[in-house]
Structure 1
Amino acid sequence: MRITAIRATPVAVPYRTDEVWAFGRRRGLVSVLVEVDTDEGLTGLGEAAAHPSAGTVLGALSSLEPLVVGADPLRIEQLIQRIDVVGTWHHMGASSPAVAAVETACWDLLGKSCGLPVHAFFGGRFRDEVEFFHYVAADGPDAVKEEGRRAAGAGAGTCYLKIGADELATDVERVAALRDGAGPDMAIRVDANEALSPGAALRAVRALEPYGLELVEQPVSGRNLSEMAYVRSRIDTPLLANEASWTRSDQLAVLQHGAADAVSADQQMDGGLLNLKRSAGICEAAGVPVVKHSLGELGVALAAATHVIAATPNFRFANQAYGALLTDDIVEGRFGGPLEHYTRGRLPVPEGPGLGVRLDPDKVDRYAGLYRTAAHDFTFHDPGALRRAPALPKR
């Protein structure tokens, strides 16, 4: 079998409510769907998060073609080494989502060619379903409280809330509202996205801990691991690395510095599913659990990650997905997509050959059209945030 072409389709899918973080907002997400064609008539599916933009991903995919077309897609290690070493892509950075999408499509092809689900190649199912957190993206405390009620009513076990407001009192008010709405049994994870200095992080976490935090994600810069270790040593809530831990090399450094109690990993930021499995192994050797991060993804990338998580014991916390925000998806059936497709915050592991999901052509056409006409509405370039000239850290 040989790869004959790579086809890419950017799509924009709206949220039901804006995704808000410390430095802006967006009203939906953009992903680039990738189809890898072969000379045997099989097509593999992949998906690249539009990070830092869809244009960057499309440019990377175009540059990848000479390294990929003509290759055997079932020799995945060899193909990725060709990209990394011959193509000198081993310092990937912003090009990583494109590489990950191609690698995912090759796993899909392998599964389809063998009639087996992808998780069979990663050790087989350790669990039959995968837990994801409920993303609470509401602004004011009343809306946060109501979203907490929605999460509890849907049976979710973990709520995720962004912090890092201009004033600490705003964060405290929102976390208190979430606890009130979600009830005493809900795990609450907060994420500052590096918005705080060490002193501000200590004050914030101590002010929020009375509301019962599960994890505090990346409260300070991910580029200063000594700073992270300092904060970790002075709070009671476990610290989750994210911006500090996007690649296996980053994760190893985090562990060596004792800078986190749990580590976030993302196949999109480190070249694919095999490296996601490797990340979990590195963390397991250090006695540290791993959490799946998402830059914003639809059903193809979500299914791919679900296969690896299902086959890997060290994913012990709820993982990141966008079911609480998405209005729709681009795959057939009920995998991924809006919250009503989840059961108690969980998704079943797909059992069909390969990734076990198929694109819905009508939805792909619809959301590809939306990307063409309104892509600028789906970025984090919030005009209000731009006028405030934001900088890290905020306080």
Structure 2
Amino acid sequence: MRIERLRATPVAVPYVHDEIWAFGRRRGQVSVLLEVETDEGVTGLGEAAAYPSADIVLAVLRSVEPLVLGEDPFAIERLMRRIELIGTWHHVKATSPAIAAVEMACWDIVGKVCGQPLVNLLGGRFRERVECFFYVARSDPAEVAREARRASESGFSTCYLKVGSDEPNTDIERVEALRDGAGPSARLRIDANEAWAPGTAVRMIRELARFDLELVEQPVSGRNLDELGYVRSRVEVPLLANEASWTRHEQLAVLKAGAADVLSVDNQMDGGLLNLKRSAGMCEAAGLPVVKHSLGELGVALAAAVHAIAATPNFTYANQAYGALLSDDITEGFGGGVAGYTDGHVDVPAEPGLGVTLDPDRVARYAELYRTEGAAFSFGDPDPVLRSPALPKF
């Protein structure tokens, strides 16, 4: 069997409301769907988040195409090494999601040919379903409280909220609203996206600790592990490394520095599901749990992640997913918003490969939306752009 063609389709799926973070917002999910066709008629599905843009993902796919066409989709390790070394992608710290999409599609082919769900090829089911958090992507405290109540009513046990506002009191009000809305038993995770300086981070975490936080994600720069270690040594709330741990090489540095209590891992940022498994194994050897990070994903990428997480023991926290934001999906009967989750969990697909099928009508609809309005879906906000924000904020 040989790879005969790569077919990429950018799509834009609206969110139910904007995703808001420390430096901007976006109105929906842009992903590049990848179909890897073989000479034996088996097609594998992959998905790349449009990070940092769909144009860059498409350019990466064009650059690796000569290294992929004519290759055996079963020889995944060899294929990925060709891309990394001959294609020089090993020089890029955060490997493009495009490369991960190629690997994902190859795994889908292997599973389909073997007649096995991907989870069985990655170690077998350690768990039958995968827990995800509810993304509370609103800014006004009253809206935060309403979304947190929706999370609780929908069966989610963990709520995730972006902090890092321009005014510290705003974050305090929003986290308080999150606790009020979610109730006393919910687990609360906040993410500053590097917005704070070390001293500010210590002060803010100590102040917010009264709301019984589960984790604080990347409160300071991910480029200086001394800062993260400084904060960790002065607060009681566990820290989750994210921007500091996008690749397995950076995760090793975090472990050596003792800079975090939990590490975020992401197959799209580190070139594939095999590397995600390597990351988790490395952290397990160090005695630390991991959580799955997401750049935003539709049903194809969600299914791939669920298979890998289900086969890996130390994913013990709720993982990042976009079900609370997505208004729809491009697959048949998988993903597509909160309704696709049961008590905050996603069932592991049982069909061969990734176990998902594209819905042609939805793909066509959201490909057209990308063509006509794709630029409006990227991260951006006129006000922060005009103010030229600094990092950290304060």
**TM-score using structure 2 length:** 0.99
Corresponding position: 1:40 with 2:40: yes
* Deviation per residue, 1:198-224 (Å, 9 max, x gap): 011011101110001000000000000
The CA deviation at 1:88 is 1.9
**1:4–1:70 CA contact under 8 A, matched in 2:** yes
**1:131–1:319 CA contact under 8 A, matched in 2:** yes
**2:117–2:351 CA contact under 8 A, matched in 1:** yes
Equivalent in the alignment of 2:143: 143
Corresponding position: 1:355 with 2:354: yes
Letter in 2 for 1:381: G
Equivalent in the alignment of 2:102: 102
Letter in 2 for 1:194: E
Equivalent in the alignment of 2:78: 78
**2:12–2:28 CA contact under 8 A, matched in 1:** yes
2: distance between equivalents of 1:89 and 1:145? 43
1: distance between equivalents of 2:163 and 2:95? 29
Greater shift in the superposed pair: 365-374 or 380-389: 380-389
Equivalent in the alignment of 1:319: 319
Equivalent in the alignment of 2:223: 223
**1:194–1:222 CA contact under 8 A, matched in 2:** yes
Equivalent in the alignment of 1:188: 188
Corresponding position: 1:114 with 2:123: no
Equivalent in the alignment of 2:276: 276
Equivalent in the alignment of 2:237: 237
Give aligned-pair identity as a percent. 68
2: distance between equivalents of 1:148 and 1:368? 32
Corresponding position: 1:252 with 2:228: no
Equivalent in the alignment of 1:393: 392
2: distance between equivalents of 1:164 and 1:152? 24
Equivalent in the alignment of 2:134: 134
2: distance between equivalents of 1:205 and 1:376? 36
Equivalent in the alignment of 1:123: 123
Equivalent in the alignment of 1:367: 366
Please give the secondary structure, in 2, of the residue aligned with 1:176: helix
**1:56–1:95 CA contact under 8 A, matched in 2:** no
Letter in 2 for 1:107: W
Please give the secondary structure, in 2, of the residue aligned with 1:51: coil
**1:20–1:137 CA contact under 8 A, matched in 2:** yes
Greater shift in the superposed pair: 337-346 or 212-221: 337-346
* Deviation per residue, 1:360-386 (Å, 9 max, x gap): 000000000000000111111211110
**2:291–2:316 CA contact under 8 A, matched in 1:** yes
1: distance between equivalents of 2:380 and 2:171? 22
2: distance between equivalents of 1:96 and 1:282? 22
- Structure 1 unmatched runs, 5+: none
Please give the secondary structure, in 2, of the residue aligned with 1:323: coil
**1:160–1:189 CA contact under 8 A, matched in 2:** yes
**2:188–2:213 CA contact under 8 A, matched in 1:** yes
The CA deviation at 1:29 is 1.2
2: distance between equivalents of 1:139 and 1:258? 33
**1:201–1:219 CA contact under 8 A, matched in 2:** yes
Root-mean-square deviation over aligned CA pairs: 0.7
**Compared with structure 1, are the counterparts of its residues 181 and 153 closer, same or farther at alpha carbon in structure 2 (3 Å cutoff)?**
same
Equivalent in the alignment of 1:377: 376
Letter in 2 for 1:380: F
Please give the secondary structure, in 2, of the residue aligned with 1:90: helix
2: distance between equivalents of 1:318 and 1:369? 34
**1:31–1:297 CA contact under 8 A, matched in 2:** yes
- Structure 2 unmatched runs, 5+: none
Corresponding position: 1:346 with 2:345: yes
Please give the secondary structure, in 1, of the residue aligned with 2:324: coil
Letter in 2 for 1:167: E
Please give the secondary structure, in 2, of the residue aligned with 1:138: coil
1: distance between equivalents of 2:144 and 2:178? 6
Corresponding position: 1:207 with 2:192: no
2: distance between equivalents of 1:12 and 1:151? 25
Please give the secondary structure, in 1, of the residue aligned with 2:25: strand
* Deviation per residue, 1:131-174 (Å, 9 max, x gap): 00000011101000111110010110100000001111000000
2: distance between equivalents of 1:249 and 1:81? 16
Equivalent in the alignment of 1:266: 266
